[in-house]
Amino acid sequence: MNTFEAVRVVAAREVRVKLRDKAFLFSTVFFLLFAVGATVVPAMFGDDASKVAVSGTAPAALGAAGLDVRSVADDAAARALVRDGEVDGALLADGTVVALTDAPGDLVNALSTRPTVELLDPSAVDDTLAILVPMVFAMIFFFVSLTFGLQIAQSVTEEKQTRVVEILVASVPVRVLLAGKVLAGAALAMGQIALIAVVALAGMRFSDSGGGLLTLLGPAIGWFLPFFLVGFVMLAALWAAVGALVNRQEDINGASMPMQILVLLPFFGVVMFNSDPVVMKVLSYVPFSAPAAMPVRLFQGDAAGWEPALALLILAVSAVAVLFAGARIYEGSLLRSNGRTSIAAAWRDREARRLVELDAESA
Protein backbone atom coordinates (compact mmCIF):
# COMPACT_ATOMS: atom_id res chain seq x y z
CA MET A 1 0.00 0.00 0.00
CA ASN A 2 1.54 3.30 -1.11
CA THR A 3 1.40 6.59 0.78
CA PHE A 4 -1.61 7.94 -1.11
CA GLU A 5 -3.67 4.83 -0.46
CA ALA A 6 -2.69 4.83 3.21
CA VAL A 7 -3.76 8.46 3.60
CA ARG A 8 -7.05 7.66 1.87
CA VAL A 9 -7.73 4.73 4.20
CA VAL A 10 -7.01 6.79 7.33
CA ALA A 11 -9.14 9.70 6.07
CA ALA A 12 -12.03 7.40 5.13
CA ARG A 13 -11.98 5.89 8.62
CA GLU A 14 -12.07 9.33 10.23
CA VAL A 15 -14.94 10.43 7.99
CA ARG A 16 -17.01 7.33 8.77
CA VAL A 17 -16.53 7.84 12.49
CA LYS A 18 -17.45 11.52 12.28
CA LEU A 19 -20.55 10.98 10.16
CA ARG A 20 -21.92 8.83 12.98
CA ASP A 21 -21.09 11.46 15.58
CA LYS A 22 -24.22 13.15 16.93
CA ALA A 23 -22.35 16.38 17.73
CA PHE A 24 -21.27 16.75 14.10
CA LEU A 25 -24.77 16.04 12.80
CA PHE A 26 -26.31 18.44 15.32
CA SER A 27 -23.90 21.26 14.41
CA THR A 28 -24.63 20.75 10.70
CA VAL A 29 -28.38 20.90 11.24
CA PHE A 30 -27.99 23.94 13.50
CA PHE A 31 -25.99 25.93 10.94
CA LEU A 32 -28.40 24.99 8.16
CA LEU A 33 -31.37 26.11 10.22
CA PHE A 34 -29.51 29.32 11.02
CA ALA A 35 -28.90 29.94 7.31
CA VAL A 36 -32.56 29.30 6.50
CA GLY A 37 -33.73 31.44 9.39
CA ALA A 38 -31.53 34.37 8.38
CA THR A 39 -32.56 34.40 4.72
CA VAL A 40 -35.87 32.64 4.06
CA VAL A 41 -37.97 33.04 7.20
CA PRO A 42 -38.06 36.88 7.20
CA ALA A 43 -39.40 36.84 3.63
CA MET A 44 -41.99 34.17 4.41
CA PHE A 45 -43.34 35.93 7.47
CA GLY A 46 -42.91 39.51 6.31
CA ASP A 47 -45.75 41.98 6.60
CA ASP A 48 -48.50 41.57 3.98
CA ALA A 49 -49.40 44.49 1.75
CA SER A 50 -51.71 46.99 3.42
CA LYS A 51 -55.34 46.72 2.35
CA VAL A 52 -57.06 49.97 1.42
CA ALA A 53 -60.51 50.81 0.11
CA VAL A 54 -60.89 53.56 -2.49
CA SER A 55 -64.07 55.41 -3.26
CA GLY A 56 -64.05 55.97 -7.01
CA THR A 57 -60.95 55.68 -9.19
CA ALA A 58 -57.76 54.59 -7.40
CA PRO A 59 -54.66 56.74 -7.97
CA ALA A 60 -51.85 54.95 -9.80
CA ALA A 61 -49.51 55.71 -6.91
CA LEU A 62 -51.33 53.21 -4.68
CA GLY A 63 -50.69 50.30 -7.02
CA ALA A 64 -47.08 51.35 -7.51
CA ALA A 65 -46.63 51.33 -3.73
CA GLY A 66 -47.70 47.67 -3.56
CA LEU A 67 -50.95 48.29 -1.70
CA ASP A 68 -53.90 45.90 -1.92
CA VAL A 69 -56.51 48.28 -3.39
CA ARG A 70 -60.25 47.58 -3.26
CA SER A 71 -62.53 49.89 -5.19
CA VAL A 72 -65.94 50.60 -3.66
CA ALA A 73 -69.03 52.43 -4.88
CA ASP A 74 -69.07 55.35 -2.45
CA ASP A 75 -67.63 56.85 0.75
CA ALA A 76 -70.12 55.02 2.95
CA ALA A 77 -68.98 51.63 1.67
CA ALA A 78 -65.36 52.59 2.24
CA ARG A 79 -66.07 53.67 5.81
CA ALA A 80 -67.97 50.42 6.44
CA LEU A 81 -64.99 48.30 5.36
CA VAL A 82 -62.74 50.24 7.74
CA ARG A 83 -65.14 49.77 10.66
CA ASP A 84 -65.42 46.03 9.94
CA GLY A 85 -61.64 45.69 9.96
CA GLU A 86 -61.51 44.34 6.41
CA VAL A 87 -59.13 47.09 5.26
CA ASP A 88 -56.44 49.10 7.03
CA GLY A 89 -57.63 52.42 5.67
CA ALA A 90 -59.78 54.10 3.03
CA LEU A 91 -59.37 56.94 0.55
CA LEU A 92 -62.59 58.93 0.11
CA ALA A 93 -63.64 60.76 -3.03
CA ASP A 94 -62.57 64.16 -1.65
CA GLY A 95 -59.06 62.88 -0.82
CA THR A 96 -59.68 62.27 2.88
CA VAL A 97 -57.91 59.26 4.40
CA VAL A 98 -60.03 57.29 6.88
CA ALA A 99 -58.74 54.78 9.42
CA LEU A 100 -60.04 53.14 12.57
CA THR A 101 -57.47 54.07 15.25
CA ASP A 102 -54.09 54.97 13.68
CA ALA A 103 -53.21 56.71 10.47
CA PRO A 104 -52.28 54.10 7.80
CA GLY A 105 -48.66 54.98 7.10
CA ASP A 106 -48.39 53.04 3.81
CA LEU A 107 -51.43 54.80 2.35
CA VAL A 108 -50.35 58.25 3.53
CA ASN A 109 -46.82 57.76 2.20
CA ALA A 110 -48.13 56.57 -1.16
CA LEU A 111 -50.25 59.71 -1.51
CA SER A 112 -47.49 62.07 -0.39
CA THR A 113 -45.44 63.98 -2.93
CA ARG A 114 -41.82 63.03 -2.36
CA PRO A 115 -38.88 65.21 -3.34
CA THR A 116 -36.20 64.03 -5.75
CA VAL A 117 -33.46 62.20 -3.88
CA GLU A 118 -29.84 62.13 -5.03
CA LEU A 119 -27.62 59.44 -3.45
CA LEU A 120 -23.98 60.40 -3.22
CA ASP A 121 -22.94 56.85 -2.33
CA PRO A 122 -25.56 54.49 -3.78
CA SER A 123 -23.32 51.44 -3.29
CA ALA A 124 -22.98 51.95 0.46
CA VAL A 125 -23.85 48.91 2.56
CA ASP A 126 -26.93 49.01 4.76
CA ASP A 127 -26.04 49.72 8.41
CA THR A 128 -27.65 46.50 9.66
CA LEU A 129 -25.85 44.37 7.08
CA ALA A 130 -22.60 46.16 7.81
CA ILE A 131 -22.82 44.80 11.37
CA LEU A 132 -24.30 41.36 10.71
CA VAL A 133 -22.20 40.19 7.74
CA PRO A 134 -18.77 40.56 9.41
CA MET A 135 -20.12 38.84 12.52
CA VAL A 136 -21.52 35.92 10.47
CA PHE A 137 -18.27 35.34 8.55
CA ALA A 138 -16.20 35.55 11.71
CA MET A 139 -18.59 33.32 13.69
CA ILE A 140 -18.66 30.61 11.03
CA PHE A 141 -14.88 30.46 10.74
CA PHE A 142 -14.41 30.63 14.50
CA PHE A 143 -17.00 28.04 15.54
CA VAL A 144 -16.39 25.55 12.74
CA SER A 145 -12.59 25.65 13.03
CA LEU A 146 -12.81 25.47 16.83
CA THR A 147 -15.34 22.62 16.81
CA PHE A 148 -13.56 20.48 14.24
CA GLY A 149 -10.16 21.39 15.66
CA LEU A 150 -11.10 20.20 19.13
CA GLN A 151 -12.53 17.03 17.65
CA ILE A 152 -9.23 16.34 15.87
CA ALA A 153 -7.30 16.93 19.09
CA GLN A 154 -9.67 14.68 21.05
CA SER A 155 -9.34 11.93 18.45
CA VAL A 156 -5.54 12.01 18.67
CA THR A 157 -5.57 12.00 22.48
CA GLU A 158 -8.10 9.17 22.59
CA GLU A 159 -5.85 7.05 20.38
CA LYS A 160 -2.90 7.78 22.67
CA GLN A 161 -4.89 7.11 25.83
CA THR A 162 -6.15 3.75 24.57
CA ARG A 163 -2.77 2.84 23.05
CA VAL A 164 -4.45 2.36 19.68
CA VAL A 165 -1.95 4.77 18.17
CA GLU A 166 0.85 2.25 18.71
CA ILE A 167 -1.00 -0.24 16.52
CA LEU A 168 -1.71 2.41 13.89
CA VAL A 169 1.89 3.63 13.78
CA ALA A 170 3.05 0.05 13.37
CA SER A 171 0.86 -0.15 10.23
CA VAL A 172 1.32 3.32 8.68
CA PRO A 173 3.91 6.10 9.10
CA VAL A 174 3.11 8.89 11.56
CA ARG A 175 3.00 11.51 8.81
CA VAL A 176 0.39 9.42 6.95
CA LEU A 177 -1.76 9.23 10.08
CA LEU A 178 -1.55 13.02 10.46
CA ALA A 179 -2.31 13.64 6.79
CA GLY A 180 -5.38 11.40 6.95
CA LYS A 181 -6.77 13.19 10.01
CA VAL A 182 -6.18 16.63 8.50
CA LEU A 183 -7.68 15.59 5.16
CA ALA A 184 -10.77 14.08 6.80
CA GLY A 185 -11.33 17.09 9.04
CA ALA A 186 -10.90 19.50 6.12
CA ALA A 187 -13.28 17.50 3.91
CA LEU A 188 -15.98 17.38 6.57
CA ALA A 189 -15.61 21.05 7.53
CA MET A 190 -15.54 22.15 3.89
CA GLY A 191 -18.57 20.03 3.10
CA GLN A 192 -20.45 21.59 5.98
CA ILE A 193 -19.49 25.13 4.96
CA ALA A 194 -20.30 24.51 1.29
CA LEU A 195 -23.72 23.15 2.26
CA ILE A 196 -24.39 26.19 4.41
CA ALA A 197 -23.27 28.49 1.57
CA VAL A 198 -25.61 26.79 -0.92
CA VAL A 199 -28.55 27.05 1.47
CA ALA A 200 -27.76 30.70 2.24
CA LEU A 201 -27.46 31.64 -1.47
CA ALA A 202 -30.69 29.80 -2.28
CA GLY A 203 -32.41 31.56 0.61
CA MET A 204 -31.20 34.95 -0.58
CA ARG A 205 -32.38 34.23 -4.11
CA PHE A 206 -35.81 33.31 -2.68
CA SER A 207 -36.13 36.29 -0.36
CA ASP A 208 -34.25 39.01 -2.28
CA SER A 209 -36.36 39.60 -5.35
CA GLY A 210 -34.27 42.58 -6.44
CA GLY A 211 -31.04 40.58 -6.31
CA GLY A 212 -29.20 43.35 -4.49
CA LEU A 213 -28.15 41.32 -1.45
CA LEU A 214 -27.17 38.35 -3.60
CA THR A 215 -24.99 40.58 -5.77
CA LEU A 216 -23.24 41.97 -2.70
CA LEU A 217 -22.73 38.68 -0.87
CA GLY A 218 -22.12 36.32 -3.80
CA PRO A 219 -18.43 37.22 -4.42
CA ALA A 220 -17.71 37.34 -0.68
CA ILE A 221 -19.13 33.84 -0.13
CA GLY A 222 -17.33 32.55 -3.22
CA TRP A 223 -13.95 33.70 -1.86
CA PHE A 224 -14.78 32.63 1.69
CA LEU A 225 -14.81 28.95 0.68
CA PRO A 226 -11.16 28.67 -0.50
CA PHE A 227 -9.98 30.95 2.30
CA PHE A 228 -11.75 28.76 4.84
CA LEU A 229 -10.33 25.55 3.35
CA VAL A 230 -6.70 26.72 3.40
CA GLY A 231 -7.10 28.35 6.82
CA PHE A 232 -8.66 25.24 8.31
CA VAL A 233 -5.92 22.95 6.96
CA MET A 234 -3.37 25.28 8.53
CA LEU A 235 -5.10 25.10 11.92
CA ALA A 236 -5.89 21.38 11.73
CA ALA A 237 -2.22 20.37 11.90
CA LEU A 238 -1.78 22.50 15.02
CA TRP A 239 -4.87 20.96 16.61
CA ALA A 240 -3.51 17.48 15.92
CA ALA A 241 -0.23 18.52 17.52
CA VAL A 242 -2.13 19.77 20.58
CA GLY A 243 -3.84 16.39 20.92
CA ALA A 244 -0.51 14.58 20.66
CA LEU A 245 1.04 16.64 23.47
CA VAL A 246 -1.24 15.15 26.14
CA ASN A 247 -2.18 11.63 27.20
CA ARG A 248 -5.60 12.24 28.75
CA GLN A 249 -8.78 13.85 27.48
CA GLU A 250 -8.94 15.91 30.68
CA ASP A 251 -5.73 17.74 29.72
CA ILE A 252 -6.86 18.93 26.31
CA ASN A 253 -8.47 22.15 27.54
CA GLY A 254 -5.28 23.34 29.17
CA ALA A 255 -3.06 22.32 26.27
CA SER A 256 -5.40 23.83 23.68
CA MET A 257 -5.78 27.23 25.34
CA PRO A 258 -3.14 28.89 23.10
CA MET A 259 -4.92 27.52 20.05
CA GLN A 260 -8.28 28.75 21.27
CA ILE A 261 -6.83 32.22 21.78
CA LEU A 262 -5.23 32.04 18.32
CA VAL A 263 -8.68 31.44 16.81
CA LEU A 264 -10.58 33.78 19.15
CA LEU A 265 -8.45 36.91 18.63
CA PRO A 266 -9.14 37.14 14.86
CA PHE A 267 -12.84 36.66 15.57
CA PHE A 268 -12.95 39.67 17.88
CA GLY A 269 -10.66 41.61 15.54
CA VAL A 270 -13.03 41.26 12.60
CA VAL A 271 -16.17 41.89 14.66
CA MET A 272 -14.81 44.93 16.53
CA PHE A 273 -12.84 46.64 13.74
CA ASN A 274 -14.91 45.80 10.65
CA SER A 275 -15.66 49.50 10.11
CA ASP A 276 -11.97 50.51 10.19
CA PRO A 277 -10.55 50.12 6.66
CA VAL A 278 -6.92 50.26 7.78
CA VAL A 279 -7.26 47.58 10.46
CA MET A 280 -9.35 45.36 8.18
CA LYS A 281 -6.77 45.63 5.42
CA VAL A 282 -4.08 44.45 7.81
CA LEU A 283 -6.28 41.63 9.14
CA SER A 284 -7.06 40.47 5.60
CA TYR A 285 -3.36 39.65 5.09
CA VAL A 286 -2.71 38.08 8.51
CA PRO A 287 -3.04 34.29 7.97
CA PHE A 288 -5.16 33.55 11.03
CA SER A 289 -7.69 36.33 10.35
CA ALA A 290 -7.66 36.46 6.54
CA PRO A 291 -10.40 33.77 6.07
CA ALA A 292 -12.92 36.09 7.74
CA ALA A 293 -11.45 39.55 7.08
CA MET A 294 -10.95 39.37 3.30
CA PRO A 295 -14.55 38.22 2.50
CA VAL A 296 -15.80 41.06 4.70
CA ARG A 297 -13.71 43.58 2.74
CA LEU A 298 -15.08 42.16 -0.51
CA PHE A 299 -18.62 42.58 0.80
CA GLN A 300 -17.88 46.14 1.84
CA GLY A 301 -16.31 46.92 -1.53
CA ASP A 302 -12.99 47.98 0.00
CA ALA A 303 -10.76 45.34 -1.65
CA ALA A 304 -9.21 45.65 -5.10
CA GLY A 305 -9.65 42.77 -7.52
CA TRP A 306 -6.11 41.47 -7.04
CA GLU A 307 -6.11 41.56 -3.23
CA PRO A 308 -8.03 38.29 -2.54
CA ALA A 309 -5.61 36.33 -4.75
CA LEU A 310 -2.58 37.83 -3.01
CA ALA A 311 -4.03 37.25 0.46
CA LEU A 312 -4.90 33.65 -0.45
CA LEU A 313 -1.34 33.07 -1.71
CA ILE A 314 0.09 34.43 1.56
CA LEU A 315 -2.30 32.22 3.51
CA ALA A 316 -1.31 29.15 1.46
CA VAL A 317 2.41 29.75 2.01
CA SER A 318 1.81 30.25 5.72
CA ALA A 319 -0.29 27.08 5.82
CA VAL A 320 2.56 25.05 4.36
CA ALA A 321 4.98 26.41 6.97
CA VAL A 322 2.54 25.78 9.82
CA LEU A 323 1.83 22.28 8.51
CA PHE A 324 5.53 21.41 8.70
CA ALA A 325 5.78 22.82 12.22
CA GLY A 326 2.62 21.06 13.39
CA ALA A 327 3.72 17.79 11.82
CA ARG A 328 7.08 17.98 13.58
CA ILE A 329 5.44 18.54 16.98
CA TYR A 330 2.91 15.80 16.24
CA GLU A 331 5.55 13.25 15.29
CA GLY A 332 7.77 14.17 18.23
CA SER A 333 5.05 13.76 20.84
CA LEU A 334 2.64 11.13 19.50
CA LEU A 335 4.45 8.10 20.98
CA ARG A 336 5.48 9.75 24.25
CA SER A 337 3.38 8.40 27.11
CA ASN A 338 5.12 9.92 30.14
CA GLY A 339 2.64 12.70 30.84
CA ARG A 340 2.14 15.98 29.05
CA THR A 341 4.90 16.78 26.54
CA SER A 342 6.23 20.28 26.08
CA ILE A 343 6.50 21.74 22.59
CA ALA A 344 10.27 22.08 22.96
CA ALA A 345 10.65 18.42 23.97
CA ALA A 346 8.48 17.28 21.07
CA TRP A 347 10.50 19.42 18.68
CA ARG A 348 13.81 17.98 19.93
CA ASP A 349 12.48 14.41 19.96
CA ARG A 350 11.40 14.67 16.33
CA GLU A 351 14.85 15.92 15.39
CA ALA A 352 16.45 12.99 17.21
CA ARG A 353 14.09 10.54 15.48
CA ARG A 354 14.92 12.09 12.14
CA LEU A 355 18.65 11.64 12.71
CA VAL A 356 18.08 7.97 13.59
CA GLU A 357 16.07 7.52 10.41
CA LEU A 358 18.83 9.09 8.33
CA ASP A 359 21.46 6.87 9.94
CA ALA A 360 19.31 3.81 9.22
CA GLU A 361 18.83 4.83 5.61
CA SER A 362 22.58 5.45 5.11
CA ALA A 363 23.46 2.11 6.69
Task: State the pLDDT at residue 213.
Answer: 62
Distance CA 332, CA 52 (A): 76
pLDDT tens-digit readout, 123-141? 555 566 667 777 888 888 8
Q: What length is written for the chain?
A: 363
In the sheet that holds 89-91, the strands lie side by side as: 68-72, 51-55, 89-91, 97-98
Residue 310's pLDDT band (boundaries 50, 70, 90)? very high
Task: Tell me the average pLDDT across 291-318.
Answer: 89
Classify burial at 304, counting beta carbons within 10 Å of its beta carbon; exposed 0-12, middle 13-18, buried 19 or more: exposed
Distance CA 137, CA 130 (A): 12
Residue of 155 and 359 predicted with greater confidence: 155
pLDDT tens-digit readout, 76-125? 888 888 888 888 888 888 878 888 777 777 777 776 665 555 554 555 55
pTM > 0.85: no
Task: State the pLDDT at residue 129.
Answer: 67
Nearest to 150 by CA among 195, 185, 193: 185
pLDDT tens-digit readout, 36-54? 766 665 555 545 567 888 8
pLDDT tens-digit readout, 253-282? 888 888 888 888 888 888 888 888 899 999
The answer, yes or no, to whether residue 308 has pLDDT greater than 90, is: yes
Task: State the pLDDT at residue 126.
Answer: 59
Q: Is 163 left (phi over 0), alpha (psi -120 to 50) or beta?
A: left
Task: Tell me the average pLDDT across 221-239.
Answer: 88
Task: Tell me the average pLDDT across 311-322.
Answer: 92
pLDDT tens-digit readout, 330-340? 887 777 777 77
pLDDT tens-digit readout, 155-205? 888 888 888 877 777 777 777 888 888 888 888 888 888 887 787 777 767
